[in-house]
Amino acid sequence: MGALLADEVAERIRSVSRTALGESCRSVTYFTKDDFEQLYLRDDLEKDADLTGFIGHEWRGFRLTQAAYEGTELGKYKYTVRAFENGYLIRVTGDREGVFVTTDPRPLHDFETVADALREVFREDL
């Protein structure tokens, strides 16, 4: 698997995610419809996760969510947070690419910070 992103962009995504989430940031993965690149994995975590299944689900999930809520009074879709027993997954997705970040348990209000920072990277660099 070759690099999908320029090194500077990959570092910016890693940096804004880790800055917003601190030591609770577990992993950062950039993805497109067809490929992905894990940009960060915390040292204490297993390196054998099957990300291919995650990517397919998150891409389809974005498309389904965007279509299901389009035109509702809730407004435009911003990002998704999934809660799990051992932490969270936040997905920020655009029309062609996305990033999902996994974290240890933390207050939900912290996710707005990382989502805003990642959307800024999309606007400026991608």
Note the pLDDT tens digit of each residue in 40-97.
Answer: 999 999 887 778 777 777 777 777 777 788 888 988 888 889 899 999 999 898 778 8
Q: Kindly report the pTM of this predicted structure.
A: 0.87
**Residue 21, both tokens:** 């989430």
For residue 84, the cross-strand partners are 87
Determine the CATH number of domain 7-125.
3.30.450.30
Assess contact for 28 and 39: CB atoms under 8 A: yes
Do 52 and 73 touch, CB atoms closer than 8 A? no
What does the domain layout of the chain look like in residue ranges? Answer: 7-125
Q: List CB contacts of 45: < 8 A, sequence separation 6 or more.
A: 26, 27
Report d(CA 77, CA 49) in Å as an integer.
28
Name every residue whose Cβ is closer than 8 Å to that of residue 71 and which is 6 or more positions away in sequence. none
